[in-house]
Structure 1
Amino acid sequence: MEQYTRTQRGSSVESAIQPNEIRVGPNGKIKSYVEHAIRIVNDPQYPGVVVTGKGAAINKAVTVVEITKRQLSKAGLGKASPVQQRTKITSEETVDVWEPIDEHRDLET
């Protein structure tokens, strides 16, 4: 397998991050994500905050949202309307493709 490199091909393409979006990673600190989410919610320029997580970061993304909701409700920091949550769960199928390092070899999946 030393003559091939593994790449993943999926159905979706990573889009540019929006100013009101937080992409939670597995190594980030929950406190930092929550503080950033509260800043976005309180900015009148944005209608809300979008928190996303993939793979190992899904649990952390849910935790960030729950803590943010609790802090906004407890401190009354939310905008005029009450805090609401809309959850969307999707899946993505990826395929491992082994591409040859040498151009003369065949492609294997």
Structure 2
Amino acid sequence: MSPARTTSRILQEALTNVTKHAATCTARVRLAHTAHHLTLTVTNDTPTAGRPAAPATSKGGFGLLGMRERAAAVGGTFHAGHRPRGGFEVACALPLDSHDESPSP
């Protein structure tokens, strides 16, 4: 899977998690790139105390695990966790391999 496709799937899941688990429906998305890496960071600033509890009938999902596996599958790194002042952050860095492109004749 390409870094762009992997990034879009991780972004989709991270934003889904904000709507499911944060007390807010807003998030900050940062996408940056260099010649060698594509970096995605998704944060929300909801204080931990304001976070609603998951419903008792809610089944555990595989969102964070799936994001971690997607990043690893393309040789990238992944981090997710609570922020010191509240909220949550998902961050990944994915390599941009120029050798995936076919050389021009």
What TM-score do you get using the length of structure 2 for normalisation? 0.29
What TM-score do you get using the length of structure 1 for normalisation? 0.29
